[in-house]
Structure 1
Amino acid sequence: MGQNAAVHSMGGGFAGEVAARVVRGETTAGAAVEGALEAVRRLDVEINAFTEVWAEWARERAAAVDARVARGADLPLAGVPIGVKATEGAASDQARRLMAAGAVPVGATAVPGPGTPWRTWGATDRGPTANPRRRGVSPGGSSAGSGAAVAAGMVPLATGSDGAGSTRIPAAWCGVIGYKPTTGLLPARDSAGLAVGGPIVRCVADVALYRRVVLGEHEHDGGDSAAAGPAPPRRVAWSADLGFNSVDPGVERTAGAALYTWAQRAGFAVEEAGLDLADPGARWHSRRARSGEAPSPGAAAAERRDEARLAESLAAADLLATPATPNPPHGPEGPGEAMSVGLTWLFNLTGHPAITVPAGLLPDGCPVGLQLVAAHGADGALLRAAADYERRVLA
């Protein structure tokens, strides 16, 4: 898994480490932000991850953070430079909570423009967003710029929003980590209740830090996921296709190999989930079109069946694991008949928490992600398991 470790370690610094150094007085928020602005100036010429850079505003905010630190304020994200998804901006619930904890937005990250094919290429006035891990292929979408900015090392954390996989897919295709919380922990970004805010980062500890400052901890799932530390699951149910996807053989092999490597090293069992779920595409489009109205009786019945099957699977196992996408990152020709959201958008309908972690590289250098899904509200257990995966497989 050496290639996987290389994917994981790309770029410098983690959000928690930056904040700790600022709080200890080893650096300042101003210096951290200047470092990020310099990285954007140097790297974004080719990557096009940012649509706007807010240099002066970021400097002002960094100076305010340094003043608060000097007064002894408790800022878990003191001086951490972040990117914010352009369609959300700095006024979104998650961005405001991150800033309240000391984070400093340095700019808006690219999303697909009007008419952008397949919704997986970020659009800027300088051209499309490039994938830092494999040039010539899509970085994923719609949080394309956030995934690219984090993977390239411009910022340690960027916000995404995930209505069908829009945080998890760019994280997977850029070789980093993307988290969709249990639906309802943040106000939905759309009237249909499908789009959930979440972070793209380079380490699971930063997901746990995001969760603490943005979502808060919840006693029923074990409390502070960061303080509890990594914990392997006892059983994981594996489904390569959820019963309705056609999965690229290389993607399936790579994601499955990462899961079985983890299981072997941690000593837990992997079982075939045996899921034969219904393709949720029609239900997803119907819910989005109806903008939160009650689903039709047929759609409601299908959702109840799938919810029951997922509940059975997650009662027998601690986690459900799948590839993050059924297909590898595509080039300008598009994904063809493959639905890149085929393994993610079901969990926007059901509301389960999910995280994608790097699983390795295909022979052509394209990253593959492994998706882990937990029961409703079990976000803390999900992150502790992901941290164990990171420690045993990615380190």
Structure 2
Amino acid sequence: MEVFPYKEYDGLGLAELIKSKQVKPIEVLQEAIKQIEKQNPSLNAVINKMYDHAENSLGSINYDSPFAAVPMLLKDITQEIAGEKITSGSKSLQGYTAKDDSAYVAKARETGVVFVGQTNVPEFALMGTTEPAFYGPTRNPWNMNHTPGGSSGGSAAAVASGMVPIAGANDGGGSIRIPAAYCGLFGIKPSRGRTPAGPIFGRHWQGASVDHVLTRTVRDSAAMLDELHGYEKAAAFHARSFEGTYLKICQAPLERKLKIAYTIASPIGTKVDAECKLAVNKAAALLESLGHFVEEKEAPVDGSKIAKSYLTMYFGEVAATLASLESVLGRKAKMTDVEPTTWLLGLLGKVSSAEEFVLAIREWDKAAIAMEAFHETYDLYLTPATACPPAIIGELEPSSSEKFLIKTVGSLGLGSLLKKSGIIDQIAENSLKRTPFTQLANLTGQPAMSVPLHLTPDGLPIGVQLIAGRGGEDLLFQLAGQLEQTESWLDVKENPLFSR
């Protein structure tokens, strides 16, 4: 029997109970552990439990901090805790232990949270589903036959099932927004340079990837960003400052009506599921009912060029990751050290030229300039968060013939031949056709959020995405706060596992 209704409270709510001495910190931690132990065997969301670490940290917390003694999970990539293992979802790193706290972890710790474990990710956070060979798939609390998305799928499943109210996440191509969309959560990717990237690196994925959290409530996300953002000496990028607090702005009424452009068309010309189109059309109607001006208008960017420039970076980063494994393994990485698809992506990175890489980054800048001009007319840009509902677990696994081809190409090192074959265009379509909408904001550095406004007839959440101009998190939070008060906002407590 639970000591108090733990799942009824978001992170700030739990912190308030603790500060007012209605519950003890250890009682909150014990409830979180109880939920993880109850839910995780079914969901496979948490792959490293840190219960002793969490309990030991209770004595060193500043109980005036906003999330004092609130249980939080971290993502098993980049969010490193000194002395704890971090594997990035790969067997190649199963023996690796972090030497220092990441800057993100150090900042998050200052908010008062206690870290109770790490969440499952696809190998090196490369996929939009969370099905690593090393740990096995994470399942969606709304329907365990389906994926929670990726790469922050473990964090999303943990929050959506009520294990913890808040979990670490990062987003290099949609990895906060995709799982938020699939699990009925709120997820915002901040502007480039808004959250910490150091201390070892000043950027992740050339600035495309940023860290934040997944939450059930808008206010938890806003309050955490208030604490995470600020100057960091290691950072290669810095977002423009915001005078005020995101927590206050998300609870403040909008003082003006917004002009919002929207589209239901895939930027790479692929199919968009009817339910995802319906989600956007419903959202557009809701926004109009709230008094905002909504107009169908596509962004002034070349979607195909954006996709290709994203993949050029993606391939290069995988190749660099495989090269960096030498310092951990004490030898060069072999194909058997990683999943076949990872090895194939690395091969494509090795045969991409420096010229191609520079031209790709220039496309990012062109798109950023075009979007800044776009936002001189439109406050926000509304799109589907994803082009399809959550896939069935295993549905996106390569077929037997594809696995044979990957293994053959990988073992022979035929990256150049593969590139000349035109397969990169095919990879671009296959890998992005389910999630073609999220990469734009990563490459331009804009903030973007997924909000839970639609449930399919099968009972699966589908989020919609809203993108603001660079540095415009305040506007996103303010609108999210308004939408959260409507009946259209999906209640994550409705999923089957939350009430368990």
Partner residue, 1:77: 67
In the alignment, the residues of structure 2 paired with residue 384 and residue 216 of structure 1 have an alpha-carbon distance, to the nearest angstrom, of 20
Matched residues, percent identical? 28
User: CA 1:117–1:197 in 2, change beyond 3 Å: closer, same or farther?
Assistant: closer
Gaps in structure 2 of 5+ consecutive residues: 1-5, 82-100, 232-238, 321-353, 398-428, 492-500
Deviation at 1:86, TM superposition (A): 0.9
Stretch deviating more after TM superposition (37-46 or 125-134): 125-134
1:273-352 superposed matches below 5 A: 273-275=297-299, 277-278=301-302, 279=304, 280-290=306-316, 298-299=359-360, 302-331=363-392, 332-334=394-396, 337=430, 339-352=433-446
* Letter aligned with residue 390 of structure 2: P
Gaps in structure 1 of 5+ consecutive residues: 1-9
In the alignment, the residues of structure 2 paired with residue 274 and residue 141 of structure 1 have an alpha-carbon distance, to the nearest angstrom, of 26
Q: Which residue, 13, 36, 41 being the options, matches 2:37?
A: 41
Partner residue, 2:470: 376
* Letter aligned with residue 247 of structure 2: A
- Listed one character per residue, the Cα deviations across residues 261-302 of structure 1 (whole Å, up to 9, x for unaligned) are 2330x2111111233532212101223445597865754554
User: CA 1:326–1:50 in 2, change beyond 3 Å: closer, same or farther?
Assistant: same
In the alignment, the residues of structure 2 paired with residue 195 and residue 374 of structure 1 have an alpha-carbon distance, to the nearest angstrom, of 17
Deviation at 1:126, TM superposition (A): 6.7
> Does the aligned pair in 1 maintain the 2:128–2:175 contact within 8 Å?
no
1:52-67 superposed matches below 5 A: 52-65=48-61
* 3-state SS of paired residue (1:57): helix
Partner residue, 1:7: none
Does residue 268 (structure 1) correspond to residue 292 (structure 2)? The answer is yes
* 3-state SS of paired residue (1:192): helix
Partner residue, 1:150: 159
User: CA 1:23–1:174 in 2, change beyond 3 Å: closer, same or farther?
Assistant: same
Does residue 177 (structure 1) correspond to residue 173 (structure 2)? The answer is no
In the alignment, the residues of structure 2 paired with residue 339 and residue 92 of structure 1 have an alpha-carbon distance, to the nearest angstrom, of 33
In the alignment, the residues of structure 2 paired with residue 236 and residue 89 of structure 1 have an alpha-carbon distance, to the nearest angstrom, of 38
User: CA 1:189–1:174 in 2, change beyond 3 Å: closer, same or farther?
Assistant: farther
> Does the aligned pair in 1 maintain the 2:45–2:158 contact within 8 Å?
yes
Partner residue, 1:254: 279
Does residue 227 (structure 1) correspond to residue 261 (structure 2)? The answer is no
Higher gyration radius (CA): 2
> Does the aligned pair in 2 maintain the 1:250–1:362 contact within 8 Å?
yes
> Does the aligned pair in 2 maintain the 1:237–1:313 contact within 8 Å?
no
Q: How many residues align?
A: 378
- Listed one character per residue, the Cα deviations across residues 39-67 of structure 1 (whole Å, up to 9, x for unaligned) are 001111111110011111111112332xx
User: CA 1:298–1:128 in 2, change beyond 3 Å: closer, same or farther?
Assistant: closer
Partner residue, 2:225: 211
Q: Which residue, 452, 458, 466 being the options, matches 1:358?
A: 452
In the alignment, the residues of structure 2 paired with residue 143 and residue 219 of structure 1 have an alpha-carbon distance, to the nearest angstrom, of 26
Deviation at 1:38, TM superposition (A): 0.6
In the alignment, the residues of structure 1 paired with residue 364 and residue 118 of structure 2 have an alpha-carbon distance, to the nearest angstrom, of 36
In the alignment, the residues of structure 1 paired with residue 483 and residue 467 of structure 2 have an alpha-carbon distance, to the nearest angstrom, of 13
- Listed one character per residue, the Cα deviations across residues 300-325 of structure 1 (whole Å, up to 9, x for unaligned) are 55434433432232111211111111
* Letter aligned with residue 249 of structure 1: A
Partner residue, 2:206: 192
Deviation at 1:234, TM superposition (A): 1.6
In the alignment, the residues of structure 2 paired with residue 76 and residue 124 of structure 1 have an alpha-carbon distance, to the nearest angstrom, of 37
* Letter aligned with residue 71 of structure 2: P
> Does the aligned pair in 2 maintain the 1:194–1:288 contact within 8 Å?
no
Q: Which residue, 94, 104, 108 being the options, matches 1:94?
A: 104
Deviation at 1:242, TM superposition (A): 5.7
* 3-state SS of paired residue (1:128): coil
**TM-score after normalising by structure 2:** 0.70
User: CA 1:126–1:297 in 2, change beyond 3 Å: closer, same or farther?
Assistant: closer
Deviation at 1:191, TM superposition (A): 4.9
User: CA 1:304–1:22 in 2, change beyond 3 Å: closer, same or farther?
Assistant: same
Partner residue, 1:16: 12
Partner residue, 1:3: none
User: CA 1:79–1:297 in 2, change beyond 3 Å: closer, same or farther?
Assistant: closer
Deviation at 1:327, TM superposition (A): 1.3
* Letter aligned with residue 89 of structure 1: E
* 3-state SS of paired residue (2:80): coil
> Does the aligned pair in 2 maintain the 1:109–1:146 contact within 8 Å?
yes
* Letter aligned with residue 179 of structure 1: I
Partner residue, 2:344: none
Deviation at 1:77, TM superposition (A): 0.8
**TM-score after normalising by structure 1:** 0.87
Deviation at 1:359, TM superposition (A): 1.8
Partner residue, 1:164: 173
- Listed one character per residue, the Cα deviations across residues 156-186 of structure 1 (whole Å, up to 9, x for unaligned) are 0001111111111111111111111100122
In the alignment, the residues of structure 2 paired with residue 223 and residue 211 of structure 1 have an alpha-carbon distance, to the nearest angstrom, of 12
What do you get for the CA RMSD once the two structures are aligned? 2.7
User: CA 1:191–1:175 in 2, change beyond 3 Å: closer, same or farther?
Assistant: closer
* Letter aligned with residue 363 of structure 1: P
